[in-house]
Structure 1
Amino acid sequence: MALENSVFTSLPESLSLPVSEKGEGPVAAETAPAPPTGVIDVSEELGNVVTTDTVLPPEKPAARSFQSKLAAREAQAAAGQPRKKVQGAGTEKGKFGWGRSKRRRQRYVEKNGRCNVQHGNMRETYRYLTDIFTTLVDLNWRCSLFVFVMAYAVTWLFFGAIWYLIAYCRGDLDHLEDETWTPCVNNVNGFISAFLFSIETETTIGYGHRVITDQCPVGTILLLLQAILGSMVNAFMVGCMFVKISQPNKRAETLVFSRNAVISLRDDRLCLMFRVGDLRSSHIVGANMRAKLIKSKQTQEGEFIPLDQTDISVGFETGDDRLFLVSPLVISHEIDAHSPFWEMSQAHLEKDDFEIVVILEGMVEATGMTCQARSSYLADEVLWGHRFSPMMSLAEGFFDIDYGAFHHTFEVDTSSSSARELSLAAARLEAHLYWSISSRLDEEKWDGPNLTGHSEKQPGRGSANGKGGVGPTFALGQTTEVQDQSGQGEQNGSVTTDQSESEA
C-alpha cells in the first residue's frame, strides 16, 4: 500500500481500483465515479499494484454520399491502386481468422443465358436421327464444319469408287493405249482420275477432259443418280449452314441485363426491380418479359420438389410485360399478397437461397426470327434498399443514354420489414385514423346545437293532457327525427290514452 501512495500519487481518484494483497480478501474501496461513455479501461497488473490507462477511441469518419464514394473509387482505379476487400455479411471467418466466402448456390441459368443442365443416361438416342436437320443445326461449330466437309468428301469418294469399279469391270483400264476401244468415261486411267470425274460431275464443273460416252448405259444411270443426290446434299448442307449462321442466338448477346436486382419502395409499395437494355439500333419487335423463381420446396404431404418454378408477375395482368425496348427499361415486380416474396424481409433475404430467372423474348426486326435472352439473379445478387441510377439525359435534338451507369445503384431509405408487415402497419394506421375521425364527428354531433334542439319538446305536438309519448331516437354516428307516438296513433285511426287513466 505504501508503494501505491508513493509512486502513483499523481493518478486521479477516478482511476484507482481496489487492491488486494496476498492472503487477504478484497479491500473495500470507496465507490468511484463511472468513467465517461466511450472510454476504454485497460488494466495492467504490476506485482500487487493495478493501474488503468484510458484510451479514447478513434473518431468515426463522417458519412460520405454516393457521389463522393463513386468519385473516390474512380480516382483509386485511375491511380492503379488495388481495392481493399472488406469482409461483408456474406463472408465467414476461416480457421485462422481469414475471410472465407460463403458457398454460392449452383446456378440453374448462367449470366450469359446458358442453362446449366446436362442430360444423362438417355437410352432413346435414335430420336435424334428422326430430326436430323435440327440435330445438325444444334451442333457446335466444330462438329458442324466436320459434318459439312465429310458429307461432300464421302459422296465424292463413294461415286468415285463406283466410276472406277465400272471402268475396271468393263476392261477400260486394260485398253488404255487402244484407240479403237470406246471406254465408259474417256481419260479415266485410275482411281484418282475417277475421283476427279466424280467431283466434276457433282459440282458441275466440267473441265472437258474427262467425258462420259454414249456406249455406257450404266454410266448414264449413275450420272443421273449422282447429279440428283449431289443437289440434295448441296441443299441440305447449305441450308443447315445458313440456318446456323442466321440463328438469333448471337442477337441475344446485345440484349443486356443489370448485374444486380434491387428491392425498394416505388409508389409506397415494395418492388423487386431489374434493368434490361438493347445495345443495337435495330429494335426487338413485340418484346415480352417473363420471370421465374427457382427454389426447392417441400409440400404439405412431405414431397420434396427440387428446383420448383414459380411465376413472378412483371405486369402480365396490366400489359406492362410487353416492352417497347428503345431505351433501357427498369422492370418492376410489385410484392403483393400473390407474390412469392410477400413475407420476405431483409434479414430473410440474407439467409434465403433462391434464383430468379428472367427471360426476354421478341422478334428480330432485321430477320423476322424469334430471339430469346436469359439471365438470372441469386439471392446475394439482390440488393435491399437500392435503386438504379438514371442514365438518360436530353441532348440537342435527341436523348443521350449513358451505358456506363447501366449497372450502377445507390442506397435509399427502405424499411427492412417485409411487404406483409408493411401492409399490416399501413392497415393499422388507416384504421386508427378512421376511428379517430369517426369518434370526433360523433362527439361534435352529440354536443352540437342540432341534437339539443331536437331533444326539447315542441308544443302542440303532444296529446291533449300534455303527456304524449315523445322521445328522441338515436343511431350510431347520426340522429333521427323526433316522432310523436300520439300523432302516429291518430293518423292510424286509433286513440292514445294515458296509462294512468286506463288503470283508473
Structure 2
Amino acid sequence: MALEDSSFPSRPESLSLPVVEKGKGPVEEASEVTASTGVFDVSEDLGHVVTTDTAQPGVNRSWKSKLAERQANAASEEYVKKLPRVVEKERGRFGWAKRRKTQRYVEKNGRCNVSHGNMRETYRYLTDIFTTLVDLNWRCSLFVFVMAYAITWLFFGAIWYLIAYLRGDLDHLEDETWTPCVNNVNGFISAFLFSIETETTIGYGHRVITDQCPVGTMLLLLQAILGSMVNAFMVGCMFVKISQPNKRAETLVFSKNAVISLRDDRLCLMFRVGDLRSSHIVGANMRAKLIKSKQTQEGEFIPLDQTDISVGFETGDDRLFLVSPLVISHEIDCRSPFWDMSQGQLEKDDFEMVVILEGMVEATGMTCQARSSYLADEVQWGHRFSPMMSLAEGFFDIDYGAFHQTFEVDTPSCSAHELSLAAARLEAHLYWSISSKLDEEKWEGSSLTNQSGKQLDNGKGGVVGPVSFTVGEITGIEEQSGPGELNGSVTTDQSESEA
C-alpha cells in the first residue's frame, strides 16, 4: 500500500520555508555588517534581502545616521546578491528533500540539448554541402538562397561588362556601324540586367547577344549551364526543407508525466502518447532509453549511459496502431533497470527516460520521429492515467482535456524486486500450509505405531515371534506371505529370527 502523508508528523506553518543555516566565511561577515543596522533574511527563491529596522520607536535619528544606514543596507544587499544561492528545498512524501536541478538531455519538445564544440574537422560539412544546407535554420537557408543567386548574377554581370569594355563597345555607343557583343549594354547596370535575363531565361528582347562575339557565346552557354545547376541545387534544398516531416511531430503529443502503478499485480512504468491529426502515422514504432550516469566494476565512469527500456519488443506491443491515444507500458521485471527502485529511491534518484516514436507520414510517405523525455521528478508513483474515451452515437469520442490527467491509486511503495520476493514467500507459505494441512488430516487416520507380536525367548538371546513395523497407511503386513521391505515397512517372522 502506498504510504500516506498522514504517517509523517505535520510541520507547523511557521516552518513553511526551510531555515537557512549560517555558513562560514562571507556569510558570517555579511551578518556582522548588518548586525548594527537591522536583520535581513535571505529568501531562497529570490535571493533578496529583507531589512527590519531595530531602532526604538519614538527616538528621532539624525539624517546623517539614516543616510549611513541606507548606504549600509544597500551595500549588504549588493553583497548578498553576489553570494551563491541556497539550494532550493521542497517537502516530498518522505520529508524535506533537496530539489534537483537536472539538465535535460532531450527537451520536452524533442530537441536534443547537446552542443558540439572544438571540432577541428569542419571540412567534413563541405563534403556533404546539401545536407548541411538542409540542416540550417530558415534564416540561414533564406540568406544562402538569396546570396547564391545574387553572387552568380553579379559575377556574370561583371564578366559581361568586362567583355564590353575590352572590345570597346562602351566607346562606340553612338556609332551605328559598330556591332557590339551585346546590344544596348552601356554600363555595369545594363550588363547586370542582361546577366539576370540570361540566367532566369526571362528574355525581354531589348538586350540580345550578337553573332560577332564568340567569347560572348561561350559565356552565354556557361552561364546557362551553371544557372540551371544553381537553380536545381537551391530549389532542391528549399523543397526538401519545406517537405521535412519535423512539423508533423508537433501534432504527436506525449503526457507531461509518467506514472508507476500496478497492472495485473505487476509494477509498470507507463506514459501516454497520442496523435492530434486525423491522418495517421503508418507503422508507428515506440522505443525508450534510460539516460543515467554509472560507474563500472572496474571504476570507469560513463556519463549519460544509455540503457534500453523494453516497451513490448519481445511481444510486439511496441508496434502501435495510433488511431486513439495509447498508454505505453513498461513492465518492471528482473531485466528492467527499475527492478530495485522503490518509491523512496525514486525521489532521490537522478535519471532521464527518453521516449521515441517513429513512423511514416500517411500523407507524404516520409519518416517522422517525435521525441520527449521524463525526469525522475516527472515520474509519479502510485498514479494512473484518467480515461479519456467515451462511446457516442456512432463513433468514439476522445476528450483530450484529460490527456495529461492522472489520479492516485493504491500502490506498494516497495520495489518490484521486493514485491516479487514477498509474493514468492506468500506462495511458499500457502504451499507448505496446504501440505501440512493435508498431512494432519492423513496422520489423524493412521498414526505411526510400533506393532510387536508375541515375543518368545528361546534361551539363546533371540526373539521368536512375529514382529512388524507399520509406517504410514500400510496395514495388514502380517498377512504378507513373504518377508521383505514394502514402502519403508519391515516384516520379520519367526523363521527369519530362527535363521
TM-score range normalised by the length of the shorter chain: 0.7 to 0.9
Match of 2:205 in 1: 208
Give the counterpart letter for 1:238 in structure 2.
Answer: V
Contact 2:291 2:353 in 1 (8 A): yes
Distance 1:149 1:370, change over 3 A: same
Q: 1:113 aligns with which of 110, 114, 134?
A: 110
Q: 2:268 aligns with which of 257, 266, 271?
A: 271
Pairs aligned (count): 399
> Structure 2 CA distance, aligned partners of 1:176 and 1:248?
56
Match of 1:5 in 2: none
Match of 1:322 in 2: 319
Gaps of 5+ in 1: 1-62, 64-84, 458-465, 490-495
Aligned positions of 1:457-468 closer than 5 A = none
> Structure 1 CA distance, aligned partners of 2:168 and 2:199?
25
Q: 1:285 aligns with which of 282, 286, 304?
A: 282
Distance 1:87 1:213, change over 3 A: farther
Are residue 437 (structure 1) and residue 434 (structure 2) matched? yes
Give the counterpart letter for 2:257 in structure 1.
Answer: N
Are residue 414 (structure 1) and residue 411 (structure 2) matched? yes
Secondary structure (helix, strand or coil) at the match of 1:194 reads helix
Q: Deviations over 1:131-190 (max 9, x none)?
A: 000000000001000000000000001111111111111111111111111111111111
Distance 1:479 1:115, change over 3 A: farther
Give the counterpart letter for 1:313 in structure 2.
Answer: S
Q: Deviations over 1:63-122 (max 9, x none)?
A: 9xxxxxxxxxxxxxxxxxxxxx9999xx85556476745242011111111111100000
Match of 2:341 in 1: 344
> Structure 1 CA distance, aligned partners of 2:14 and 2:286?
36
Contact 1:468 1:485 in 2 (8 A): no
Secondary structure (helix, strand or coil) at the match of 1:371 reads strand
Tell me which of the two structures has the higher relative contact order, counting C-alpha pairs closer than 8 angstroms and 6 or more residues apart: 2
- Which is worse superposed, 102-111 or 229-238? 102-111
Contact 2:450 2:468 in 1 (8 A): no
Contact 1:469 1:485 in 2 (8 A): no
Aligned positions of 1:73-152 closer than 5 A = 94=20, 96=41, 100-101=88-89, 102-152=99-149
Secondary structure (helix, strand or coil) at the match of 1:498 reads helix
- Percent same amino acid among aligned pairs? 84
Are residue 239 (structure 1) and residue 240 (structure 2) matched? no
Q: CA deviation at 1:443?
A: 2.1
Q: CA deviation at 1:404?
A: 0.5
> Structure 1 CA distance, aligned partners of 2:203 and 2:474?
111
Q: Deviations over 1:436-469 (max 9, x none)?
A: 1011112222333xx58x9999xxxxxxxx9678
> Structure 2 CA distance, aligned partners of 1:86 and 1:292?
43
Match of 1:359 in 2: 356
> Structure 2 CA distance, aligned partners of 1:455 and 1:373?
79
Q: Cα RMSD over matched residues?
A: 2.8
Give the counterpart letter for 1:210 in structure 2.
Answer: R
Match of 1:182 in 2: 179
Give the counterpart letter for 1:147 in structure 2.
Answer: V
Q: Deviations over 1:309-354 (max 9, x none)?
A: 1111111111111111100001111111111111111111111111
Aligned positions of 1:218-237 closer than 5 A = 218-237=215-234
Contact 1:391 1:405 in 2 (8 A): yes
Give the counterpart letter for 2:346 in structure 1.
Answer: L
> Structure 2 CA distance, aligned partners of 1:302 and 1:482?
70
Q: CA deviation at 1:500?
A: 3.6
Q: 1:308 aligns with which of 299, 305, 308?
A: 305
Give the counterpart letter for 2:389 in structure 1.
Answer: M
Contact 1:290 1:312 in 2 (8 A): yes
> Structure 2 CA distance, aligned partners of 1:106 and 1:486?
87
Contact 2:209 2:216 in 1 (8 A): yes
Contact 1:473 1:481 in 2 (8 A): no
Distance 1:397 1:181, change over 3 A: same
Q: Deviations over 1:235-291 (max 9, x none)?
A: 100000011011111111110000111111111111111101000011111111111
Give the counterpart letter for 2:267 in structure 1.
Answer: L
Contact 1:473 1:482 in 2 (8 A): no
Match of 2:82 in 1: none
Q: 1:167 aligns with which of 164, 169, 184?
A: 164
Q: CA deviation at 1:298?
A: 1.0
Contact 1:470 1:485 in 2 (8 A): no
Q: CA deviation at 1:300?
A: 1.2
> Structure 2 CA distance, aligned partners of 1:481 and 1:437?
30
> Structure 1 CA distance, aligned partners of 2:268 and 2:425?
21
Q: Which runs of 4+ in 1 moved over 3 A?
A: 85-88, 91-101, 454-457, 466-474, 478-489
> Structure 2 CA distance, aligned partners of 1:290 and 1:209?
63
Gaps of 5+ in 2: 1-5, 7-12, 22-40, 46-87, 90-98, 453-463, 485-492
Distance 1:455 1:281, change over 3 A: farther
Q: 2:443 aligns with which of 427, 441, 446?
A: 446
Distance 1:312 1:484, change over 3 A: farther
Distance 1:434 1:480, change over 3 A: farther
Distance 1:92 1:199, change over 3 A: farther
Q: CA deviation at 1:382?
A: 0.6
Contact 1:468 1:484 in 2 (8 A): no
Are residue 499 (structure 1) and residue 493 (structure 2) matched? no
Give the counterpart letter for 2:339 in structure 1.
Answer: W
Give the counterpart letter for 1:434 in structure 2.
Answer: Y
> Structure 2 CA distance, aligned partners of 1:132 and 1:254?
30
- Which is worse superposed, 362-371 or 131-140? 362-371
Distance 1:137 1:86, change over 3 A: farther
Contact 1:258 1:406 in 2 (8 A): yes
Contact 2:451 2:468 in 1 (8 A): no
Q: TM-score by structure 1 length?
A: 0.74
Q: CA deviation at 1:486?
A: 4.6
Match of 1:27 in 2: none
Are residue 250 (structure 1) and residue 223 (structure 2) matched? no
Q: TM-score by structure 2 length?
A: 0.75
